[in-house]
A = this chain, B = another copy of it.
Amino acid sequence: MKKLFAMYAQPADEAAFLRHYNEVHTPLVEKIPGLARLVVNRVQAAPLGGEPPYFLIAEMHFADNASFTQAMRSPENRAAGDDLADFAQGLVTLLVVEDG
């Protein structure tokens, strides 16, 4: 399974961030063709101590490399990326990962 992880650092205004994330960004992400699953993890604790480096980690799952590549090239992904650059600038780390 190929995935895109979006790891968000704590925003200054968490409520406003989550409002935009839930009401604007998530609907854009859900339109990305080939997206098999979106998993949104809320970070609750960093058991080894210190402040957690992220407060939210979203996972976008794709069946394989081909559907991932096609998704990344889609206008729907461009729209989601433009929105991300707008509301999460300086807060988000994106990682392409593969399991299995």
Tell me whether A15 is interfacial, beta carbon within 8 Å: no
Name the contact of A93 in the complex, choosing from B4, B53, B93 (C-beta under 8 A). B53
Choose, from A17-25, A28-36, A41-49, the stretch at the interface. A41-49
Query: Number of residues in A with C-beta < 8 Å to the partner?
Result: 25
A residues with a Cβ closer than 8 A to B are 3-5, 39-48, 52-54, 57, 92-99
Not counting A41-B97, A47-B94, a sample of 15 additional A-B residue pairs whose C-beta atoms are within 8 angstroms of each other reads A3-B41, A5-B41, A39-B99, A42-B97, A42-B99, A44-B95, A44-B96, A44-B97, A44-B98, A46-B94, A46-B95, A47-B96, A48-B92, A48-B93, A52-B95
